[in-house]
């Protein structure tokens, strides 16, 4: 009898999850595509959902599993349905804030660098948000102010940079550019030029205010970009692929990232190398640092300032 009841409850729960359609529109204005894009940009791989290069907007098993993974990592009920609480947690990550309910990250005193709160702020994308590290990034470890939105290109972070500069820190960490390859510039040979132009605007604005710029160089997630390249090579007409797929080849992206990193090396008051840190022990997923990687970056910043 007990087993019969458990099976019935499991059946009802599954029906409720599917009936929800992944997103409860009565509790949030987020759409399924919004959620899928968020998950894909924040370390939850959805290869079938993005087979055409864009979110398919369907509440399939892959999307439901990714929602549940996000819910589990953030201490939320794993019901595969984006209701009020899950939507608030998603929007908190998008806004560069920790969700109200979030998984705890244990930090040993030996690992955590000395705090430099009040002196430092950071602007960036999901790498600064702390995706795959319990939403605790290098700037949280250092006790500084965080101005970050996941999944954004450098041009879309200029407003965040302006706000960060207005907070008048002594040091401003600028860590962005890795997402630009997903945007139109990534399908051209102007990728590095576009990123450098946006970085230049931020660096110049900060330095005019007497703020020292800490420039974190872009690491290269080769496996991630190689997978994307191979998919587009098989079907170049898929949405999300470049008309000239070679512009987004691993070799070409590496070339552009090297050009951006060289610019950072020459223009930041304190440039920080990261490619040597991109090892398995520091990887949270195909693109993001885990807490150990974030801690390594925090240590490098602390050593410089």
Q: Per the structure block, which two tokens stand in for 97? A: 């804030």
What is the chain's pLDDT, residue by residue, as a tens digit (305 residues)? 545 544 444 443 444 444 578 999 889 999 998 998 888 878 777 877 877 767 888 998 889 888 988 888 888 888 889 999 999 998 888 776 555 433 333 334 444 444 565 699 999 999 999 998 989 999 999 999 999 999 999 999 999 999 999 999 999 999 999 999 989 999 999 999 999 999 999 999 999 999 999 999 999 888 888 998 999 999 888 878 898 989 999 999 999 999 999 999 999 999 999 999 999 889 888 899 999 999 999 999 999 88
* Whole-number Cα distances in Å, 98 to 43, 125, 137, 282, 300: 16, 14, 10, 21, 23
**Other C-beta atoms lying within 10 Å of the C-beta of residue 240:** 16
Is the C-alpha dihedral spanning 68, 71, 75, 77 positive or negative?
A: negative
């Amino acid at each position: 009898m007990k087993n019969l009841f458990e099976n019935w409850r499991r059946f009802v729960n599954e029906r409720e999850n599917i009936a929800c359609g992944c997103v409860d529109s009565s509790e949030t204005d987020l759409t399924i595509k919004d959620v899928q894009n968020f998950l894909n940009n924040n370390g939850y791989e959805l290869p079938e959902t993005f087979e055409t290069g864009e979110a398919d907007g369907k509440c399939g098993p892959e999307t439901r599993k990714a929602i549940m993974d996000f819910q589990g990592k953030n201490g939320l009920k794993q019901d595969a349905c984006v209701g009020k609480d899950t939507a608030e947690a998603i929007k908190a990550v998008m806004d560069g804030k920790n969700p109200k309910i979030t998984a705890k990250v244990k930090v040993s005193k030996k690992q955590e660098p000395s705090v430099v709160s009040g002196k430092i702020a950071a602007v960036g994308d999901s790498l600064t948000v702390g995706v795959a590290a319990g939403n605790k990034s290098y700037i949280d470890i250092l006790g500084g102010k965080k101005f970050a939105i996941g999944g954004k290109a450098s041009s879309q972070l200029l407003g965040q940079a302006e706000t960060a500069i207005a907070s008048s820190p002594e040091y401003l960490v600028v860590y962005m550019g890795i997402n630009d390859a997903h945007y139109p510039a990534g399908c051209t040979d102007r990728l590095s030029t576009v990123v450098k132009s946006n970085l230049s605007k931020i660096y110049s604005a900060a330095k005019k205010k007497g703020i020292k710029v800490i420039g974190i160089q872009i690491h290269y997630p080769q496996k991630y970009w190689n997978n994307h390249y191979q998919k587009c090579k098989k079907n170049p007409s898929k949405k999300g692929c470049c008309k000239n797929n070679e512009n987004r080849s691993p070799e070409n992206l590496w070339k552009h990232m090297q050009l951006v990193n060289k610019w950072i090396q020459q223009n930041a008051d304190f440039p920080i190398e990261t490619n040597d840190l991109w090892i398995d022990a520091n990887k949270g997923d195909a693109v993001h640092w885990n807490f150990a990687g974030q801690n390594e970056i925090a240590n490098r910043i602390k050593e410089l300032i």
